[in-house]
Amino acid sequence: MNAKEKILVFGGTKGVGRQYVDMAREKLYPASEVLVIARSENLLEDIQSQKESNSIEIKTKSLDISKEHEQEKALEIADEFDPTRVVYFIGGGPFGEFGQKKWSSHDWAYQVNFLFPAKLIHHHLKKNMTTVRQMIFLGSAIAESKADPKSASYSAAKHALLGLMKSVVEEGAFIDLRLFSPGYINTSLMPKADSLRSQGIKVFEPKEVAVELWKWQYEEDQNFHRIFR
């Protein structure tokens, strides 16, 4: 069991993030707190309803991080909660040829995969005195360093996140910034798991990814970037 923690989880209601929140419930010292931000009120209530009498406190807040005014609200909530650790699972984007998709869909992908993560890092560094020891973001072993046809805006945003974090880490940021980049995962974000597996391509279950990420967050690591594929 780890020491008392206050973890702010962006996108902890589905996929890897949900597995991470379940692990926090299981593994953290009971006085710890987790605050989960996502959109669906039903999924947030579901997380609350699973609370056991002696488990950690889990708070929730429904916000749509693709919207700039809700991003500002999220920064206020982060300040009030004053976390020791921030873990950001929100991601996604339109699937199809770049020119055929609406600009609003590409804009959504830039907001959730890059612009808000960048704003969140900037906000905590600018504050200078912060209790946040570590901020972890999810990259993509598939999309962040090579072409990902039909996911151009997602790929561009993940490339941008990698570039930003690499540069800020080299500036000597006082927060432990980390990028965890998995391969394919069997979640609703990636509906082709069976077809990929039939081609012999490795597809992780969300729990396998959450277990690896959970371990890594407590390891001393000189490298800010972990590729898991």
Ligand X SMILES: NC(=O)c1ccc[n+]([C@@H]2O[C@H](COP(=O)([O-])OP(=O)(O)OC[C@H]3O[C@@H](n4cnc5c(N)ncnc54)[C@H](OP(=O)(O)O)[C@@H]3O)[C@@H](O)[C@H]2O)c1
Binding residue (CB under 6 A) for ligand X from 5, 6, 8, 11: 11
For position 66 contacting ligand X by CB under 6 A, the verdict is yes
Cβ atoms < 10 Å from Cβ of 18:
23
Task: Give the interface segment with ligand X, choosing from 12-20, 26-34, 122-130, 163-171 (CB under 6 A).
Answer: 12-20
Residue 174 phi, psi (nearest 5): -80, -10
**Cβ atoms 9, 87 nearer than 8 A:** yes
| Sign, CA torsion 47/24/32/178 | negative
For position 2 contacting ligand X by CB under 6 A, the verdict is no
What single-letter amino acid sits at 115? L
Bridge partners of 58, per DSSP, are: 34
149-178 binders of ligand X (CB under 6 A): none
Task: Give the interface segment with ligand X, choosing from 76-84, 86-94, 98-106, 161-169 (CB under 6 A).
Answer: 86-94
For position 138 contacting ligand X by CB under 6 A, the verdict is yes
In terms of Cβ atoms closer than 10 Å to its own Cβ (0-12, 13-18, 19+), residue 111 is: buried
Alpha helices in 95-200 (DSSP H): 103-110, 116-127, 152-170, 193-198
For position 185 contacting ligand X by CB under 6 A, the verdict is yes
For position 16 contacting ligand X by CB under 6 A, the verdict is yes
Q: State which residue, 14 or 133, has the beta carbon closest to ligand X.
A: 14
Binding residue (CB under 6 A) for ligand X from 7, 15, 164, 179: 15
Q: Nearest Cα to 90, choosing from 28, 167, 22, 16? A: 16
d(CA 163, CA 84): 25
Binding residue (CB under 6 A) for ligand X from 153, 155, 187, 217: 187
CB of 84 to ligand X, least distance (A): 21
For position 120 contacting ligand X by CB under 6 A, the verdict is no
Q: Site size for ligand X, by CB under 6 A?
A: 30
135 is written with which tokens?
């901020």
For position 59 contacting ligand X by CB under 6 A, the verdict is no
CB of 65 to ligand X, least distance (A): 4
Owner of token pair 């004053």: 82
For position 182 contacting ligand X by CB under 6 A, the verdict is yes
**Cβ atoms 177, 3 nearer than 8 A:** no
d(CA 150, CA 96): 4
For position 92 contacting ligand X by CB under 6 A, the verdict is yes
Q: State which residue, 112 or 132, has the beta carbon closest to ligand X.
A: 112
Where do contacts with ligand X occur on this chain (CB under 6 A)?
11-17, 38-40, 43, 63-66, 89-92, 112, 138, 140, 182, 184-185, 187-190, 206
